[in-house]
Structure 1
Amino acid sequence: MQSITLVIAAVLACAYAQVSIPPGYDGRYPYAKTARHPRDLTWERNAGGGKVFGTLGGTDDSLYGRGGYKHDIFNDHRGRLEGQAYGSRVLSPYGDSSNLGGKLNWSNDNARLGADLQKQIGGRTGLTVTGEGSWKLDRNTRFSTGGNLHKTFGHSKPEFGLQGRIEHDF
């Protein structure tokens, strides 16, 4: 019994002492004890009735930046409609990428709908649409449904999903 307890304690001590190092990190930096945490700078400022936002940062092998503008188009009895335009750039030895996109998100008390159009520079354009809703049928019963659609323009077929359920509290 004592030896089993000792073995379990030794295994827990070894598991606790493990350090997470990304793959390939120890090959390039054999004397490093731990991986460096990514550093980034995030900011957000009011501008033109909306907000300008951005993030700049880097890891040991890449630099990245993301920025954009978001604005509430309306927020009243019709619900809330929010628009956003954004772009990002990643530089790394494994390849660079630039992305541009725009989002529209609408929501009210019962439902949400979102559309995101994104374009990779030198690549394809994609569209993602999501929606969900929940309505009370009576005091103890709710009907919930949702779905999504993703289409990369070109020769690919769209991917979609639907879900629905009825919940009743007894």
Structure 2
Amino acid sequence: MKVVCALFCLVVAAAAQEFIQTEEIDSYPYWYHNPEHLRYRRQLSADPETGDVTYRHKVADNGHLFGTLGSRGDAAFGKAGYKQNIFDDNRGKLDATGYGTHVISPYGSSNHLGGRVDYTGDRTKASVDVSHQMHGMTSLEAAAGARWPIGKNGDFSLQGTYNRMGPFQDYGARAGLNYRF
């Protein structure tokens, strides 16, 4: 019985779609332009180089909602999320982000959900990003680095990275000695 009702609703909806005539609106009604009915203007900004449209809205004391709409080549994308500052004091700065993306391209579409944690200290930085493609693989990106001063004009730095996407893994390390004469 449920299948019959669902099938009937589907047929009625499809038939209604076929018989609806589209109308063109020549002008907007008066109340649309009336200053009394103006709504809060969103804080949208377009990047002049890429044409991406971004949105940012502060929430509570240390958080904000964000979103981006844009395109790259034949693909269009949308990204939205929430970023929260956990602490920013003598220990350093710790930010946490949760996000979701949707990409539409000629090759299909994909959805990703993810989270990111970033730490920045006086001489250290670290980040971890985990994302999951719906009906697909989970990826993990981790990076950490530190810098130690040597005398007045130099410093030694060490960085490490780890990337995993499904069964594929990648490790990286880099050391550097900078001295300014």
Q: CA deviation at 1:133?
A: 1.4
- In terms of Rg, which structure is larger? 2
Tell me which moved more, 117-126 or 53-62.
53-62
Q: CA deviation at 1:40?
A: 3.8
Deviations 1:108-134 (A, max 9, x none): 111100000011111100110011111
Deviations 1:130-155 (A, max 9, x none): 111111122223111111100124x3
% identical equivalent positions: 33
* RMSD (CA atoms): 2.0
Match of 1:46 in 2: 58
Deviations 1:30-64 (A, max 9, x none): xxxxxxx9754211001133010001245785432
Runs of at least 5 residues in structure 2 that lack an aligned partner in the other structure: 1-48
1:122 aligns with 2:113: no
Give the Cα–Cα distance (whole angstroms) in 2 for the partners of residues 165 and 59 of structure 1. Answer: 35
Normalised to the residue count of structure 2, the TM-score between the two structures is 0.66
SS of residue matched to 2:108 = coil
The equivalent position to 1:162 in structure 2, one of 150, 165, 173, is: 173
Normalised to the residue count of structure 1, the TM-score between the two structures is 0.70
Match of 2:90 in 1: 77
Match of 2:108 in 1: 95
Instruction: Give the ranges of 4+ consecutive aligned residues of structure 1 lying more than 3 Å apart after TM superposition.
Output: 37-40, 57-63
Give the Cα–Cα distance (whole angstroms) in 2 for the partners of residues 123 and 65 of structure 1. Answer: 19
Q: Tell me the matched-pair count.
A: 132
Q: Which amino acid aligns with 2:135?
A: G
Runs of at least 5 residues in structure 1 that lack an aligned partner in the other structure: 1-36
SS of residue matched to 1:96 = strand
C-alpha distance 137-98 of structure 1, shift in aligned 2 (>3 A): same
Match of 2:43 in 1: none
